[in-house]
Amino acid sequence: MSEPRILFDNVSRFYGEVLGVNRVNLSIPPGVTSLVGPNGSGKTTLMNLMTGLIRPSRGAISVLGIPPTRPEELFRKMGYCTQFDAFPKGLTGYQFIYSFLLVHGMIPSEAARLTGEALQRVNMTQAADRPVAAYSKGMRQRIKLAQAIAHRPTVLVLDEPLNGLDPMARAETIALFKQFGDEGRHVIVSSHILHEVDRISDQVILLSHGYVVAEGQIQDVRSEVKDQPMQILVRCDKPGLLASRLFEQDHVVEAKVNEDGRGLLVRTRDADNLYLLLNRIVLDNGLEVEAVAPADDDVNSVYQYLIGGEGGTT
């Protein structure tokens, strides 16, 4: 039996004359998937389509076999932490989560138990009885996250969930996403903080101007970017010698010795060939190699190559 997926079949969404997303075809497997793209690229539109908050102008969407037009089924399996920083008035953090669990149809004791559990997961138990209106930005972000995960969804959609979080909370939240992904759930996350997203993403979807520019595992996406030579870092004892040998090859476009004299950053148009060549050079010249690793198969580099500009901030 094939694994449950989130499917977009030729989906377009227009806001009047303005393009939201266009002709999106996606098949998202379980794990952590990052939506990456500049402001206005269509990340939030894609998430709102997935969750049924808006409807496609064209095409069809299915989340684990459920169309988003059936929220009564979809949101038993899905939790969505939106970017909207607004809350129903007059509720404490506890009441906020508890009230909406009751809307699920849960009995009070079950709702209370899950509320407590969710508050604990985001470290908000202490502040649970304070009004949400008195919360800091980071606390509001965490209480939204708690509300999204309280009913233990198998699909979690998170729009800029790290915004406003301090470094400690950010690390804890990222660990939580990673845990959800490892448990085989779908975690769809959009974030500007690319280097942090990069650490947890199993796959990435790059968006620009409403189009999906690339999708898949980040290493695969990187290797598809043929016009940008791959950067490979080689830690070895004789980087100068290695550089001179590598320059004999056509596919090597640059080799830069590290400042500490113990490594070489190589840019090549043919990574596979480079790895084979390295083996030969090492054997022929008796080089001691500590490590060989790609230096630009991360989200940030791929973002820069495909979309341009600085990918994200810390």
Sites of contact with another protein (CB under 8 A): 48, 51-55, 71-76, 78-80, 82, 84, 86-90, 99-100, 102-107, 147
Task: Compare residues 49 and 218 and give the one whose CB is closer to another protein.
Answer: 49
Shortest Cβ 92–another protein spacing (Å) = 13
- Min dist. Cβ of residue 82 to another protein (A): 6
Q: Judged by CB, which is closer to another protein: 82, or 173?
A: 82
- In whole angstroms, the minimum distance from the beta carbon of 112 to another protein comes to 13
Q: Could you say which DSSP state residue 66 is in?
A: B
Smallest distance, another protein to C-beta of residue 90, A: 7
Token pair recorded at residue 69: 């037009």
Runs of H (alpha helix) within 150-270:
167-182, 194-200, 218-224, 239-246
Q: Which two tokens stand for residue 313?
A: 């901030």
Other CB atoms closer than 10 Å to residue 118's CB: what's the count? 26
Q: Toward another protein, which CB reaches closer, 79 or 181?
A: 79
Q: Cα–Cα distance between 268 and 232 in angstroms, integer?
A: 8
Alpha carbon of 304 to those of 62, 206, 252: distances in Å?
31, 11, 21
Q: How far is the CB of 210 from another protein (least distance, A)?
A: 16
Nearer to another protein, 87 or 211 (CB): 87
The helix (H) or strand (E) run that includes residue 151 is none
Q: What is the largest CA-CA distance in the chain?
A: 74
**Shortest distance in whole angstroms from residue 132 CB to another protein:** 11
Residue 143 or 194: the one with the smaller Cβ distance to another protein is 143
Residue written as token pair 């975690």:
187
CB of 53 to another protein, least distance (A): 4
- Report the residue number, 143 or 212, with the smaller CB distance to another protein: 143
Phi, psi of 213 (to 5 degrees): -85, -40
Q: Which is nearer to another protein, 147 or 301 (CB)?
A: 147
- DSSP state, 225? -
Which tokens is 239 given? 């980087």
The CA distance from 213 to 306, in Å, is 7
Query: What kind and span of H or E run contains 118?
Result: helix 108-121
